[in-house]
């Protein structure tokens, strides 16, 4: 195919590993199907982990065109209390007007534009003016997309009296567990004038103006929500919703096999290790982390625990002894590994020794657990995570103690944590269901599976559009 008639996809992620990782995994699917791909990379990144991932990705796909987008400095520094990732999203949305000159000289002409869900509305006027088909990647579950689409109606129906709100629930089309309890909705989006709330209120009605929505999910896990979305039960004048997951890890992730961590896992019996991680953005209070340590010791199981006490790790590193207490750190040395840096989660979850996962239920983590058939102890901390945790529980491959609330609301004691860990490590029903989820995930990703068929049909459609316009 000539360069002029090839499909040229431009992709534009936002901020945070939770968004960048699935974005690049979708990019790898398109690159492996011979699309020309330009990745707009907002700089500087918020975290060092994002910079490293971009560097590794470009090394693995040298044909990728990286288009740096140097963001202007904000007019004033954000308050210390503002989440740096949300602040980056706001900066991006306010800087979208700088994109047209950046992409005007790209060759061959752009065929498709795929942006992060956080950038929908600001980009619409640009893609409409350039007559570009506009898609978005929604980086959570199909269930969460149902909620996201319906949120403006929920916001208008919520009673003004907050004392009454916890007792109510909301019918949400497409949710497999509707009505949705008020307690499952992240409190931040009911607070007036927060970045996240304003973004959903503004962007949700504009989903109908898109050409399609990509989801990192698969049919056998979310058939109810996917059907409702594509039947128009959730979004009026809906765009097509494409389930193209679960996204597979990158090849360069699989090559990291000689680490101390992997060697330690190699020495453990099959299914004997519990993995504890709350994602790339969740920092816990030190008191709660010490209770987790006590719970791990109480459980009696070997463990790998990723500790994080800051949202973004800066140059200054605080030692584990200061975070957890020297006595606890010493006591845990015989039982497991405690790490305080970014880890290759796919390497851990895919290891035969890992038999359970204590997770915040970020969607990337759930998809990675699904690919490896690992039972989950759900402990939602913020955002979409209670909706995701409920999906795991009703699929019967995980448990969720709803009395633990949102992260930071209360300190969950070590004995409760230890007992819950024993449950996921010893419950045979959870293990059986987790393996069934894995079978569905692997089938979706296999040759001739839903993901491959969907991607190839889309690319053929885009090629036809390009050829018709040449």
Query: If DSSP codes are grouped into helix, strand and coil, which group holds residue 17?
Result: helix
Low-confidence ranges of the chain (pLDDT < 70): 1-5, 74-82, 159-167, 252-258, 280-282, 309-318, 469-470
Q: Do 293 and 177 fall within a single domain?
A: no
Same-domain status, 221 and 276: no
Instruction: Kindly report the pTM of this predicted structure.
Output: 0.91
Do residues 272 and 187 share a domain?
no
Total domains in the fold of the chain: 2
Catalytic residue at 267? no
Q: Please state, in angstroms and rounded to a whole number, the distance separating the CA atoms of residues 347 and 424.
A: 20
Query: What is the pLDDT, as a whole number, of residue 315?
Result: 41
pLDDT of residue 1: 40
Please check whether residues 326 and 367 belong to one and the same domain: yes
* 429 lies in the same domain as 452: no
- Determine contact, residues 361/388, Cβ cutoff 8 Å: yes
The verdict on 359 and 392 lying in the same domain is: yes
Angstrom distance (rounded) from CA 194 to CA 84: 13
Residues 30 and 91 in one domain: yes
Q: Which of 8, 19, 224, 382 is catalytic?
A: 19
Cα end-to-end distance, the chain, whole Å: 12
Q: Which of 8, 83, 116, 384 is catalytic?
A: 116
CA pair distance 367, 140, nearest whole angstrom? 10
Reply yes or no on whether 34 is catalytic: no
In a shared domain, residues 459 and 347: no
Instruction: Please return the burial class of 129, using the count of CB atoms within 10 Å of its CB with bins 0-12, 13-18 and 19+.
Output: exposed
Residues 134 and 233 in one domain: yes
pLDDT of residue 60: 93
The reply to whether 183 and 314 lie within a common domain is: no
Six-digit token string for 151: 């949120």
Query: Where residue 370 sits, what CATH number does that domain have?
Result: 3.40.50.2000
The pLDDT score that the predictor gives to residue 5 is: 55
At 6 the pLDDT is 82
Q: Which helix (H) or strand (E) holds 385?
A: helix 385-394
Residue range(s) defining the domain that contains residue 398? 254-443
Whether residues 74 and 108 share a domain: the answer is yes
Q: What is the C-alpha separation between 402 and 414, in angstroms, rounded?
A: 16
- In 10 A of CB 105, how many CB atoms? 6
pLDDT attached to residue 284: 85
| In a shared domain, residues 289 and 404 | yes
């Amino acid at each position: 195919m000539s360069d002029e008639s090839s499909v040229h996809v431009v992709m534009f992620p936002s901020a945070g590993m939770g968004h960048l990782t699935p974005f690049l995994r979708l990019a790898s699917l398109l690159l492996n199907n011979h699309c020309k791909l330009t990745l707009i990379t907002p700089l500087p990144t918020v975290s060092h982990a994002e910079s490293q991932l971009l560097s590794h990705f470009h090394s693995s796909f040298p044909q990728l065109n990286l288009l740096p987008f140097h963001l202007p400095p904000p007019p004033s520094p954000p308050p210390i209390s503002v989440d740096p990732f949300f602040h980056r999203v706001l900066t991006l949305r306010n800087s979208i007007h700088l994109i047209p000159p950046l992409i005007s000289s790209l060759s061959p002409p752009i065929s498709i534009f795929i942006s992060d869900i956080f950038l929908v509305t600001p980009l619409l006027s640009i893609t409409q003016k350039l007559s570009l088909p506009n898609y978005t990647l929604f980086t959570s579950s199909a269930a969460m997309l149902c909620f996201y689409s319906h949120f403006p109606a929920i916001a208008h129906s919520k009673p003004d009296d907050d004392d009454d709100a916890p007792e109510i629930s909301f019918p949400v089309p497409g949710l497999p567990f509707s009505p949705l309890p008020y307690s499952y909705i992240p409190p931040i989006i009911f607070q007036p004038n927060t970045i996240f709330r304003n973004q959903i209120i503004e962007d949700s009605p504009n989903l109908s103006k898109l050409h399609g929505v990509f989801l990192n999910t698969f049919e056998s896990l979310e058939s109810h929500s996917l059907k409702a979305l594509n039947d128009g039960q959730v979004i009026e004048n809906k765009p097509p919703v494409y389930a193209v997951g679960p996204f597979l890890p990158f090849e360069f992730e699989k090559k990291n096999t000689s680490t101390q961590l992997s060697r330690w896992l190699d020495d453990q019996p099959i299914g004997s290790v519990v993995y504890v991680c709350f994602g790339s953005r969740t920092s816990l209070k030190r008191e709660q982390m010490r209770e987790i340590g006590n719970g791990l010791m109480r459980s009696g199981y070997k463990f790998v625990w990723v500790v994080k006490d800051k949202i973004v790790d800066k140059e200054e590193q605080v030692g584990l002894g200061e975070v957890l207490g020297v006595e606890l750190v010493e006591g845990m040395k015989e039982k497991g590994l405690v790490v305080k840096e970014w880890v290759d989660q796919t390497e851990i979850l895919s290891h035969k020794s890992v038999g359970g996962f204590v997770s915040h239920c970020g969607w990337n983590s759930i998809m990675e657990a699904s690919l490896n058939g690992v039972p989950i102890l759900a402990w939602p901390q913020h955002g979409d995570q209670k909706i995701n945790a409920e999906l795991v529980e009703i699929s019967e491959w995980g448990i969720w103690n709803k009395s633990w609330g949102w992260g930071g609301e209360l300190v969950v004691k070590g004995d409760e944590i230890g007992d819950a860990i024993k449950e996921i490590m010893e419950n045979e029903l959870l293990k059986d269901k987790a393996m069934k989820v894995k079978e569905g995930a692997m089938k979706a990703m296999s040759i001739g599976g839903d993901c491959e068929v969907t991607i190839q049909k889309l690319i053929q459609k885009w090629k036809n559009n390009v050829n018709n316009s040449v």
